């Protein structure tokens, strides 16, 4: 991944999916009556959209870039977000939702880290590093929510 526009198109797709998943999770938590967790997921959706905007500005995109489906190059064939959600269906409780969100963030973080490690283009490398760091913060936030639950 040594083309900054291409890298950003991937990041944009990832963040778009992430925002949508968080909104779905927020809805699900709200319907369970877990308003605090729902609010947290809404915040995370908000950050994903900010991140998406930032990536669009950096890439100079005015519209969402659309690569043909086969022009995306994901490690698992689908974006890390979609991979985290594969096989999820039906009822989700609070621990399940947090575990799922954590899995998505972890995969996204690993994805950016791998790109940063492999990229020869310094711009791609530094941007992927910055994005990996943001994802690592999200991982930490989710972990602290999970340990809060464990303590009751
Ligand atoms: Zn994230």
What residues does each domain of the chain span? 4-151
Q: 71 CA to middle of ligand 1, Å?
A: 23
The Cα–Cα gap between 150 and 93 comes to: 14
Provide mean pLDDT across the span 133-149: 92
| CATH architecture of structural domain 4-151 | Up-down Bundle (1.20)
Report the separation in Å between the CA atom of 122 and the middle of ligand 1, taken as the mean of its atom positions.
22
| Across 27-42, average pLDDT | 95
Report residue 100 as tokens: 């799922």
Predicted confidence (pLDDT) per residue in 56-115, tens digit: 888 787 777 777 777 788 887 788 887 777 766 667 899 999 999 999 999 999 999 999
- Would you give the DSSP letter of residue 2? -
CA of 148 relative to ligand 1 center, distance in Å: 20
The DSSP output letter for 84 is H
Say if residue 4's pLDDT is above 90: no
How much distance in Å is there from the Cα of 51 to the middle of ligand 1? Answer: 9
Spacing, Cα 8 to ligand 1 middle (Å): 15
Measured in angstroms, how far is the CA atom of residue 101 from the centroid of ligand 1? 9
Q: What share of the chain is helix, strand, coil (3-state, %, to 5)?
A: 75, 0, 25
How many A from CA of 47 to the centre of ligand 1?
Answer: 8
CA-closest candidate to residue 19, choices 127, 138, 144, 123:
138
Model pLDDT, residue 31: 93
- Which residue, among 61, 38, 136, has the nearest Cα to 13 in the 3D structure? 61
For 39-50, how does the pLDDT look when each residue is reduced to its tens digit (9 = 90+)?
A: 999 999 999 999
CA of 64 to the centre of ligand 1 (A): 19
d(CA 96, CA 94): 5
């Amino acid at each position: 991944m040594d083309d900054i526009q291409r890298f950003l198109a991937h990041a944009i797709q990832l963040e778009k999916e992430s925002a949508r998943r968080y909104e779905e999770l927020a809805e699900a938590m709200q319907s369970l009556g877990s308003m605090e967790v729902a609010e947290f997921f809404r915040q995370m959706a908000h950050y994903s959209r900010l991140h998406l905007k930032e990536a669009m500005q950096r890439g100079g995109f005015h519209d969402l870039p659309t690569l043909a489906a086969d022009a995306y190059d994901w490690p698992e064939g689908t974006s890390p977000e979609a991979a985290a959600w594969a096989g999820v269906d039906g009822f989700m409780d609070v621990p399940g939702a947090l575990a799922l969100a954590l899995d998505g963030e972890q995969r996204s973080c690993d994805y950016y880290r791998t790109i940063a490690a492999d990229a020869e283009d310094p711009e791609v490398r530094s941007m992927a590093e910055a994005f990996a760091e943001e994802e690592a913060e999200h991982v930490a936030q989710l972990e602290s929510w999970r340990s809060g639950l464990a303590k009751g």
